[in-house]
Amino acid sequence: MIEQLTVLAKDDLPFPPSVEDFFLPAIYPWGEANSPWVTKFTVLIWLAVAALIAFFLLAYRKPKLVPTRGQWMAESVYGFARDNVAKEIIGHEGVRFAPYLATLFSFILLTNIFGIIPFIQISPMSHIAFPAFLAIISYVLYNAAGIKKHGFWRYLKSQTMPPAPKVLYPLLIPLEFFSNLVLRPFTLALRLFANMFAGHIILLVFTLSGFVLLASDNFFIKAMSPFAWLMAIILTLFELLVAVLQAYVFTLLTAVYVQTSIATDH
Amino acid sequence: MVNYAAEGGHNPVFPIWQEMVIGLIAFAVLCFVLMKFVFPRMEQTFQARVEAIEGGIKRAEAAQAEANQLLEQYKAQLAEARTEAAGIRDQARADAESIRADVLAKAREESDRVIAAGREQLTAERQSIVRELRGEVGGLAVELASRIVGEALADEARRRGTVERFISELEHAAPQSSGAR
């Protein structure tokens, strides 16, 4: 990194930001220098898990019929995933998927919001490994749900043979197979990853360009730097929106995929 | 850019498998805890809440039913009381009627009795008066006769005839009245 800075910016500024900004060295003294086991990203994942467990257990250690504020907050997260996602999309039998959807939603939401929390400032979801494993879990879940409901062959048929004229089948079957059974986890993972990755890049661009502008010899260019930081602040708020939205989209799409696999008629 | 080669470079779309392992384990822990200790309890709470509300509704319905039943009961009792009152009124009316008839009959009897007594008394008085009168008439006649006789002796023959007729009339009357007795 240090060498990179000398190459990239004459004023010791890592500008413009690059892909390498997303790959931080391992945290010492655990393991070797660039071991991916213990990095800021994995630590953030554990932090998110610990925070969520602590929040839910604390909020729900003594549930009451008339909830306290903490209990109400925990209930709204679950109630949102249960009623507004699971029941809304999947229908009445969607309630059994609600615990997974709620866990998924709260986990993605918190890790996304890490991207704009001071001193954390990066979302683990900007490493594709994390959206990818979530996408794999969702993929396994909705396929398993479909196979359990219809049986393997009937499920495969329902996912690949839409009600269409038979002449179109040579074209449709590969397309449907590809889009329903191959592409979905990739789009799911890539959408979340790309949003978080791009969000971090944008914040880096504006924050760092503020410093770069300030370091300029030209007074007018120097004077532009507060605007860059203002943009960084505005975009931070925008990132909050993106964080919530992407968590919602991931959860919602998982529910939609579950619904299409267990739907009785295609 | 040189460093890319030195570090082997990173491609952001290729996942680091170690991170996937960490992510899976961490997420599995999260899922386990939340799905075992939190969400089922939330479902229970939701259920309890629904039951509390439904129980409230049920209780209200039961109270309503009971109130309706009581109302019916009261209405029945009221109707019963009304018929009973009507019965009592009819009875009273009939009683009054019979009492009136009784009283009337008694009064009539009484008046009849009084009238009969009056009549009897009248008869008795009349008889005693008649008896008295008869005595007095005799006396008066004698007195009258003595006066007539004492004052006018002239025209004896005419007077004799008169007195004789009178006497004979008296004698006629006396056996008649004694026969009526």
Residue in A closest to B30 by C-alpha: A49
> What is the average pLDDT across B89-98?
94
Q: Which of A19, A37, A65 shows the shortest C-beta gap to B12?
A: A19
Farthest-apart Cα atoms in chain B, separation: 211
User: A199: how many CB neighbours lie within 10 A of its CB?
Assistant: 25
Q: Among A211, A210, A197, which Cα is nearest to A18's?
A: A197
Q: pLDDT confidence of B8, banded at 50, 70, 90?
A: low
Cis ω before A67 (30° cut-off from 0): no
pLDDT at residue A236 is higher than 50 = yes
Nearest to A93 by CA among A258, A250, A254: A258
Q: Kindly report, residue by residue over A90-131, the tens digit of the pLDDT.
A: 998 889 999 999 999 999 999 999 999 998 889 999 999 999
Residue A2 has pLDDT above 60, yes or no: no
Considering only the beta carbons, identify the residue of A48, A127, A197 that sits closest to B16.
A127
Among the partner residues A4, A60, A130, nearest to B41 by beta-carbon distance: A60
Nearest to B48 among A41, A65, A126 (CB): A65
No. of H helices and E strands in chain B?
4, 0
C-alpha to C-alpha distance for A20 and A8, rounded to whole angstroms: 12
A46-53 — which CB contacts under 8 Å span 24+ positions? A46/B22, A46/B26, A48/A107, A48/A110, A48/A111, A48/A114, A48/A124, A48/B26, A49/A107, A49/B26, A49/B27, A49/B29, A49/B30, A51/A110, A52/A106, A52/A107, A52/A110, A52/B30, A52/B34, A53/B29, A53/B30, A53/B33, A53/B34
Cα separation, A122 vs A200, whole angstroms: 7
Q: How confident is the model at residue A162 (pLDDT cuts 50, 70, 90)?
A: confident
Q: Searching chain B, which residue's CA lies closest to the CA of residue A35?
A: B18
Segment A8-64, tens digit of pLDDT: 444 566 778 888 888 887 776 666 667 788 888 999 999 999 999 999 999 988 888
What are B101-129's pLDDT values in tens digits?
999 999 999 999 999 999 999 999 999 99
Residues of chain B contacting A126 with CB distance shorter than 8 Å: 12
DSSP string for residues in A174-216: HHHHIIIIIIHHHHHHHHHHHHHHHHHHHHHHHHHHHHHHHT-
Taking residue A55's Cβ as centre, other Cβ atoms within 10 Å add up to 17
Domain count, chain B: 1
User: For all residues of chain A together, what is the average pLDDT?
Assistant: 88
Range in A157-166, A238-247, B89-98 with the lowest mean pLDDT: A157-166
- State whether B12 and A20 contact (CB < 8 Å): no
CA B91 to chain centre: 9
| Strongest mean pLDDT among A39-53, B132-146, B161-175 | A39-53
Number of domains within chain A: 1
Q: Are A125 and A131 in contact (CB under 8 A)?
A: yes
Most confident of A30-39, A205-214, B163-172: A205-214
Q: What distance in Å separates the CA atoms of residue A251 and residue A138, rounded to the nearest whole number?
A: 9
A34-43, A102-111, A146-155, B153-162: which range is least confident on average? Answer: B153-162
> How high is the pLDDT of residue B6?
38
Q: Determine the pLDDT at residue B112.
A: 93
SS3 letters across A205-238:
HHHHHHHHHHCCCCHHHHHCHHHHHHHHHHHHHH
- Window from A68-77, B29-38, B97-106, B135-144 with minimum mean pLDDT: B135-144
Mean pLDDT, to the nearest integer, of B24-33?
A: 95
Answer yes or no: is pLDDT of A208 > 50. yes
Per-residue DSSP letters for B99-152? HHHHHHHHHHHHHHHHHHHHHHHHHHHHHHHHHHHHHHHHHHHHHHHHHHHHH-
Q: In this predicted model, what pLDDT tens digit does every residue of A173-186 receive, in sequence order?
A: 999 899 889 999 99
Residue of B nearest to A33 (CA): B7
pLDDT of residue B1: 34
Kindly tell me the sign of the dihedral angle through the C-alpha atoms of B167, B170, B172, B175. negative
How many whole angstroms from its chain centre is CA B104? 25
CB half-sphere exposure, A213, CA atoms < 13 A: 16
A164 or A150, greater pLDDT: A150
Residue % of chain B over a pLDDT of 70 = 85
- As given in the structure block, the two tokens for residue A226 are 């507060």
d(CA B131, CA A136): 154
Going by C-alpha positions, the residue among A57, A133, A63, A141 that lies closest to residue A100 is A141
Name which of A128, A87, A142, A82 is nearest A106 in CA terms.
Answer: A82
Q: Which domain holds residue A99?
A: 2-262
Nearest residue in chain A measured CA to CA from B42: A75
Q: Is the model's pLDDT at A251 over the cut of 90?
A: yes
B41 close to A (CB below 8 A): yes
Model confidence at B153, pLDDT cuts 50, 70, 90, reads low
pLDDT at residue number A28: 66
Tens of pLDDT along B35-89? Answer: 999 999 999 999 999 999 999 999 999 999 999 999 999 999 999 999 999 999 9
Structure confidence at residue A161 (pLDDT): 84
Inter-chain Cβ pairs, chain A and chain B, closer than 8 A: 129
Report cis status (omega within 30 of 0) of the bond before A170.
no
The DSSP string of A138-161 is: HHHHHHHHHHHHH-HHHHHHHHH-
Pair B42, A80: CB distance under 8 Å: no
Residue B9 has pLDDT above 80, yes or no: no
